[in-house]
Structure 1
Amino acid sequence: MMMTTDVTPRWALPQLFSGQAQKELFHNEALARIDMLLHGEVESADQNEPPADPAPGKCWIVAAGAMGAWAGQEDAVACWTEGGWRFVAPRTGLSLWVTDRANNMHYTGGSWQDAGLGEDGLYFGGLRIVGSQGAPITAPAGGATVDGEARSSIAAILAVLRHHGLIAS
């Protein structure tokens, strides 16, 4: 697969051309793969077929049930290049930013897992356990019936804990 530009689309790594080295095709393929994965970003991990008109340098984690040009490439990183689709099988420890999830995912050796920290909170086992900070709870003050005030404060504490995902709703 020949490239027509002198740099890779994502990180502008230099390409070699005929006459510069005997192994230019292999070298360029290596550069394209490095470009796919070095500080990698993918558009999504939830698509099982390629987009209709991808831009060079855009990548995806291929979801289960892959179809079309992605058939048989489940869990691979698929990147569109000027030479067509390139696929890299993930290795344990690979971590990529997933744009549509606003979260990192990492490969554990058998599957892709959401990382613990996303833009919208802290996750454990794929569940958000801490989210954005809620409004403050006003401290109990005054009142003739202490029990009613205490119940109101406890209800407010529970509402905030639920809002943050620390306890179930």
Structure 2
Amino acid sequence: MNDSMSGDATARLRLPLLHAGQAQKELDHNEALAMLDVAVQPAVVAMGVDVPPQEPAEGECWVIGSQPVGEWAGREGAVAGWTLAGWRFLPARPGMTVWRIEDGLTARYEAGAWRIGEVRASRIVIDGASMLAAPQPAIPGVTGGSTIDLQAREAVEAVLETLRVHGLIQR
């Protein structure tokens, strides 16, 4: 299921809306609750799966792959959640985020694809202290000079290489 039973649905998650005088409102209400159970803080068993599992447990979710078959056909990239009443599907939308149970990474839907384990930030703050920021300009390596201090050069080069490896300065 997943499509609104009444035809009218919310803009983002396509949850069914209730109408004044509607008979059996509990059907739309229960459908919306089942879809919210999949949508709110989703944890997925796996991503990129094309074949629905044979015996899913209630509450388990997957991110559907690019070539789905069976009950998942036509639902590429969507989050599929198993409920007592069957599958519920949430189409991927920009900014949607899921947590992957298998490795604890998050995946975010962006620019038409799921991006796994990427962190987007302008800076990282830990305990109130700015730890990382955007990469800075390259720092030239140590070269020549009238006095050569090999240990100092090796230490400076090690610091520079560490900064490069962490993407804090350009190569």
Please classify the TM superposition score into its range, dividing by the shorter chain length.
0.5 to 0.7
Change in Cα spacing, 1:167 to 1:114, as seen in structure 2 (3 Å) is farther
Equivalent residue, structure 1, for 2:78: 76
| Aligned alpha-carbon RMSD (Å) | 3.3
TM-score for the superposition, normalised by structure 2 = 0.57
Equivalent residue, structure 2, for 1:96: 98
Deviation (angstroms), 1:164: 4.0
Equivalent residue, structure 1, for 2:62: 60
Question: What SS does the aligned partner of 2:149 have?
Answer: helix
- 1:17-57 CA-to-partner distances (Å, cap 9, x unmatched) read xxxx8222222111100000012222222322223332110
Deviation (angstroms), 1:82: 1.5
1:37 maps to amino acid? A
- Contact 1:48–1:64 (CA under 8 A) maintained in structure 2: yes
1:100 maps to amino acid? E
- Contact 1:66–1:74 (CA under 8 A) maintained in structure 2: yes
Change in Cα spacing, 1:165 to 1:73, as seen in structure 2 (3 Å) is same
Deviation (angstroms), 1:83: 1.9
Identity %: 42
- Contact 2:38–2:88 (CA under 8 A) maintained in structure 1: no
Unpaired runs of 5+ residues, structure 1, are 2-20, 123-129, 131-144
How many Å separate the matches in 2 of 1:25 and 1:160?
Answer: 59
- Contact 1:103–1:117 (CA under 8 A) maintained in structure 2: no
- Contact 1:44–1:101 (CA under 8 A) maintained in structure 2: no
Unpaired runs of 5+ residues, structure 2, are 2-22, 125-131, 133-146
Of stretches 61-70 and 103-112 in structure 1, the one that deviates more from structure 2 is 103-112
- Contact 1:49–1:66 (CA under 8 A) maintained in structure 2: yes
- Contact 1:91–1:109 (CA under 8 A) maintained in structure 2: no
TM-score for the superposition, normalised by structure 1 = 0.57
